[in-house]
Amino acid sequence: MSKLAEIVSSQPSDLSLDEGIDGDKLFLRQLKEEEIRAKLQEFAKELAQVKAERDQQ
C-alpha cells in the first residue's frame, strides 16, 4: 500500500437543506467538521513523516 492517507477535499454537502437544524447548530457543526479535518490532516502529515524516517533506516 503506497498511500498512507488520502485527504478528501470535496466541498461538504449543503447542510442548510437539513430540516430541524437552526443557524447556531449549523455553525457549530461546521466548526466541528473543520476541526476534525485539521486534526486528520495533521495526523496524515505525522504518518508520512514516520514512514519517511522508517524508509531511511
Question: What pLDDT score was predicted for residue 57?
Answer: 84
Within a domain: 7: no
Burial of 51: CB neighbours in 10 Å, binned 0-12, 13-18, 19+: exposed
What is the number of domains present in the chain? 1
Confidence of residue 11 (pLDDT cuts 50, 70, 90): low
**16 inside domain:** no
Give residue 36's Cα distance to chain centre: 5
Residue 40 maps to a domain: yes
Task: Record the pTM.
Answer: 0.56
Residue 5 lies in a domain: no
Whether 34 is covered by a domain: the verdict is yes
Residue 28 covered by a domain: yes
Q: What is the pLDDT of residues 12-57, one digit of tens each?
A: 555 555 556 688 999 999 999 999 999 999 999 999 999 999 999 8
The domain containing residue 31 runs over which residues?
23-56
Whether residue 29 lies inside any domain: the answer is: yes
User: Could you read off the pLDDT of 33-43 as tens digits, one per residue?
Assistant: 999 999 999 99
